[in-house]
Each structure stands twice: as structure tokens, then as C-alpha cells.
Amino acid sequence: MYDVKGNLHRVLATLPDSVRLVAISKFHPEEYVMAAYDEGQRVFGESHEQELKRKAEALPKDIEWHFIGHLQTNKVKYIAPFISMIEAVDSLKLLREIEKQAAKAGRVVDVLLELHIAEEATKYGLTLDDCRQLLADGEWRQMEHVRICGLMMMASNTDDEAQISSEFQTAADFFDEVKARYFADRPSFKERSWGMSNDYQLALSHRSTMVRVGTAIFGPRVY
Ligand SMILES: *Cc1c(COP(=O)(O)O)cnc(C)c1O
């Protein structure tokens, strides 16, 4: 097996205590998840609803699963009963559906709003203005089964470190803006989920609180 344990410890050694590691296990087999679990890792991220459901059923119940992919509204009902955090909320429509399904499941589901800052047109997420609009609209305040815990974003897939840094900084500044305007009295709004295998070191210097690292722990994905 790939040296999951060694890699996990190498990544953890570079993270300050205040930063949480979400180990991204998508496309990797259950025994890889268990290898990390046996070393104490409890937070894992998946991006496909069926794969997530299969793993959640088979693996220990104290794993906190984060959904990190683009989530279709018709899939929310399958994960609402157990998901720990939905990281990539990119529309009011999706937020409404999470509220509905979380209410049915009798839970409060933690979510992050996903920002689209990267240059790639292919990436999902809310533009800063869309996000401002969603928060200004205020419907989210009535949602008793959804707790908005912060922001998530992916930087451009490029070697240009200045570009990546500037995108992380834009996200960090935007976090301060919305924290002050909408969440000053809500301590649960505190997460800044940015940084992946190739850029999480850079993300740390732009105040990331949560890094989503897959390849650097589990190796290349076989699709
Ligand atoms: C796959 C994925 C990751 C992890 O990417 P690595 O480069 O393997 O670390 C992080 N975030 C999101 C949203 C992803 O889809």
C-alpha cells in the first residue's frame, strides 16, 4: 500500500494546531481511509454522493464526513442524515434544500459557502457579489437546520504562486468583510477552508483554518 501513514504524519507535522486537516479520500479504497483512521485521523472529505454513502456505511461511525464536491439538490436527501459538513454551498437553492432535508432528519447541518475566485471558468462557487447578495437577502437567517460556519474556495490550478497567494488573500479579506457584517455575533462562523496538496502551505499564510489534502496523503487518484 501507498505510505498513507507516513504521508499523513508528514502533512500533520506542517500544520499548526489551530488548523484542521480534512483528508480527501475520494477515489481511494476504504483500506486507505482505515490506514489514516488508525493513526487518529477522523475528518475525511468526499466529492461523490454514492461513494460517500458506501464508505460511510462501511467505515467507523465516528468519522466526520465532509462533502467537498458540487452537490446537486436532488442528492441532498441521501447525505443529510449523517453528513458532518457540506463545504461547497454555491446557491440559495442548495441551501434551501439542505435546510429542508436537515429538518426532516432532525439535524442541524454545518455548511460553508463556496467562493469562485479562481480564474478557471470551470470551477463552481459564488462570485463575491453573489455571496454578498445571498447574505444580504437574509433568508438564511430563518433556516434553523443549517449553520453557516465559514467560507471555502479553490485557488487556480497554476504554478504562479503570486496568483494563488492573491486569490487566498482575496478570500481572507472577504471573510473579514462578511464576518463583520453578518456574523459578528456568531462565533460558529469561523472556518476558512482553503489549501490542497499543492498549495496548502501557501494557504496557511493566508489564514486558512481547514486544509483539504488528498494526493499528498493517499497518492495519485485512479479515476
Ligand atoms: C479533490 C479535491 C481536493 C484535494 O485535492 P488534492 O490535490 O488531491 O489535495 C480538495 N478540495 C476539493 C474541492 C477537491 O475536489
Distance 139 CA to ligand 1 centre (A): 30
Average pLDDT estimate for 117-139: 92
> How many Cα atoms within 13 Å fall on the side-chain side of residue 95?
25
Work out which ligand 1 atom sits closest to the CA atom of 218. Answer: 8
Place 123 in a pLDDT band, splitting at 50, 70 and 90. Answer: confident
**Nearest Cα to Cα of residue 213 among 52, 41, 31:** 41
Average pLDDT estimate for 148-172: 97
Give 67-110 pLDDT, tens digit per residue: 999 999 999 999 999 999 999 999 999 999 999 999 999 999 99
Probe residue for ligand 1, chosen from 68, 124, 164 as the CB with the greatest number of ligand atoms within 8 Å? 68
Please state the pTM of the whole predicted model.
0.97
Give the pLDDT score at 26. 97
Average pLDDT estimate for 10-31: 97
Give the pLDDT score at 2. 82
DSSP β-bridge partners for residue 192: 151
Give the pLDDT score at 223. 77
Residue 65 has pLDDT above 80, yes or no: yes
Cell of 58: 462501511
Residues of the chain with pLDDT > 70, as a percent, come to 100
Distance 25 CA to ligand 1 centre (A): 9
Residue 185, class by beta-carbon neighbours within 10 Å (0-12 exposed, 13-18 middle, 19+ buried)? exposed
Would the CB of 112 count as within 6 Å of ligand 1?
Answer: no
